[in-house]
Structure 1
Amino acid sequence: MRADATRNVEAVLRAAARVFSTDPLARISDVAAAAGVDKRTVYRRFDSREELLLAVYRARLDRLAALVEATLDDRPVRDALLAFAEGGIRLSREWPVDIRTVTDPEVRRRREELDVRMDDFLRRAEQAGVLSRGLPDGWSLRVLQTQLHTVAQEMPSLPPAVAARLVVQTFLHGVGV
């Protein structure tokens, strides 16, 4: 694909993520306008609105997979958690579509694979004494995902680094005194 075509596809995907997050029934012409391209440019790459939306979900998953790979590594758990939180907030703000309810089998499978990797990391956090042991399966992951989604979407004025520190602090210690 030519460099300008690649830039156009990226612009369309990013615009579609923003447009569909605010208006799930938006048309391709709305996405094209937000991306600054003609709707024929969008239709050359995507046959339908549904195909475009699926491409947005896949692009978000690609970035989430890269984030998991880059942050949930062998560094100390708190450092990895903070890096993941900051990256997750940035990702959610740049790609604001919610992949948790997507029914496409491939998207669902990939999301579940990433959830398993994140659950593995959170078990490591339990073993390191950073998280409580004995919580129901999936509890820590759902709490973390909910906090990240909430701060990313409902508190956009908080800079990602500040928001990440607040999320990690709350995740590890709660909001009580």
Structure 2
Amino acid sequence: MSKTAGRPLRADAERSVRAILAAAERVLAENPAASMEQVAEAAGVTRTTVHRRFANRQALIDALAAEAVSKLAEAIEDGHPETAPPLVALHRATANVLRVKGAWGFALGPGLAQSEQAARTHEEIALRCTELLGRLQRQGVIAADADLEWVRRVFYALISEALHGGGHAPRGGREYDPDALATGIIDTLLHGVGPRAS
């Protein structure tokens, strides 16, 4: 739950903050230089309401990044990386991550400076990912001598390319199937692009 000055927000204030953050993602994705006034208009609230919740534009962007990273962490956990069969967990977590990254493209973009809290959450996500890849390695799905940190980085790059690359990538709000993309990403990660043994 969002907090102001360490206190939990009332339900109406919480709804207001969520509306502002959702509007900020939409507006800033289209125009990274957009003002807080433009965010307020998109959220359907007054400029005063935005300023009451966020001291300045940077505070709004920090809160937006923290919210998006929190959604990303939830997406990973929803894949049950410790308890589901590893390939099932990897597919589900990948599809979930694609959905979140597709919805929070600005807040999770590579050019956005991360708050300390968001950076810590990213580190936790990387650790969870490496642990899941370790489960796959122990099952023989990933080569025993593979460097799991490198595998994780390749996995991240495939996700990024699927979302932000040219040509076939889903951009500008186009519809895409996260499950199908997840299948392609995992297939490429685990089998590469060489010919398959018959």
TM-score (norm. length: structure 2):
0.79
CA deviation string 1:43-91 (max 9, x = no partner): 1100111001110111112112222222112211110011001100110
Q: Distance in 2 between matches of 1:133 and 1:12?
A: 47
Secondary structure of 1:138's aligned partner: helix
Instruction: Determine if the alignment matches structure 1 residue 150 to structure 2 residue 161.
Output: yes
Q: Distance in 1 between matches of 2:181 and 2:122?
A: 24
Match of 1:130 in 2: 141
Bigger radius of gyration among the two: 2
Amino acid at match of 2:52: R
Matches within 5 A, 1:8-19: 8-19=16-27
Q: Distance in 1 between matches of 2:78 and 2:110?
A: 21
Match of 2:189 in 1: 171
Amino acid at match of 2:133: L
Instruction: Determine if the alignment matches structure 1 residue 109 to structure 2 residue 120.
Output: yes
- Please say which of residues 2-11 and 121-130 is displaced more in the overlay: 2-11
Match of 2:44 in 1: 36
Bigger helix share: 1
Matched residues, percent identical? 31
Change (3 A) 1:159 1:16: same
Report how many aligned residue pairs link the two structures.
Answer: 177
Q: Is the contact made by 1:57 and 1:99 (CA closer than 8 Å) also made in structure 2?
A: no
User: Cα distance, 1:103 vs. partner?
Assistant: 4.4
Identify unmatched segments of 5+ residues in structure 2. 1-8
